[in-house]
Amino acid sequence: MILAAAIDDVSYAHPGADLPSLERVSIQIAAGEAVAILGPSGAGKTTLLALLDGRLRGWLGRVSVLGTQLDPDQRPPREQCADTGFIFQEFALVERSTVFRNVLNGRLGRMPCLRAAFGSPSTRDCEIARTALADCGIADLADRRVDSLSGGQRQRVAIARCLAQEPKLILADEPVSNLDPVRAVDILTLLTKVARARGAAILFSSHQPDLAGRFADRIVGLRSGSILFSIPAAQLSEDRTTALYRQEVSVSGVSLRAVN
């Protein structure tokens, strides 16, 4: 099996924290696979995504992303970072800039440093950005300012920016938490569809088990920094979901009490 990412026995505590955010976590993500992470607030979902994005320092264990080992003491090289795309919960767009310019920002990691510094995209960069806009159904919004858009439209811009980066691994931190149910379905449909069309693996966090089960191939249950289960989406049951989110859970006969 070709892996997009592999985490082996990783532990991490945020500076000053009393408890670890991740504790002896091991997980593998296959190339082209769609994986959803479920878990209550504070479970470590965002920390796990940041780890794979190369933004954490001082973790223990082994992490490999797209065949390259990460170093716990330094950020991955620029060319390696471009292969991993990140979609933020709060969009992280330049509000006073146009949609097209925001999507072009996804190309910065692919540009030569001098061209990126001066914001001088090539013809190919512009073509890739326009293709991403079209794939996300927002080509007609290219000249609009981001601060004039709805939440659903902004999330499409964030996805298009990620696609313009041409990533092989897409990480999404609760990408539909700010959207109503109908737009949430639309966005997850789009996100998983474009990822599969490009052969990219996707790992997204969620608080919505029904949507996770509908759009992911596999579900990972995370609580208090530990993985409680990693199962095919079809095996996600109400009992597992209830156990994951309630105060005291019992998994495989072992009682685990949440620390909130």
Give me the number of domains the chain comprises.
1
- How do residues 182-192 score in pLDDT, each as one tens digit? 999 999 999 99
CATH number of domain containing 184: 3.40.50.300
Q: What is the mean pLDDT of residues 89-93?
A: 88
Per-residue confidence (pLDDT) for residue 80, from 0 to 100: 85
pLDDT tens digits along 193-204: 999 999 999 999
For residue 212, the model assigns a pLDDT of 94
Q: Are strands 226-232 and 254-257 parallel, antiparallel or unpaired?
A: unpaired
Locus of tokens 């092989």: 168
Kindly give, in sequence order, each residue whose CB lies less than 8 Å from that of residue 191, ignoring residues fewer than 6 positions away: 87, 159, 170, 172, 175, 202, 204, 215
Residue 247 confidence (pLDDT):
57
**pLDDT tens digits, residue range 207-240?**
899 999 999 999 999 999 999 999 999 999 999 9
pLDDT digits (tens, 9 = 90+) for 145-189: 999 999 999 999 999 999 999 999 999 999 988 888 899 999 999
Domain limits for position 166:
3-258
Q: Which residue has the higher pLDDT, 257 or 133?
A: 133
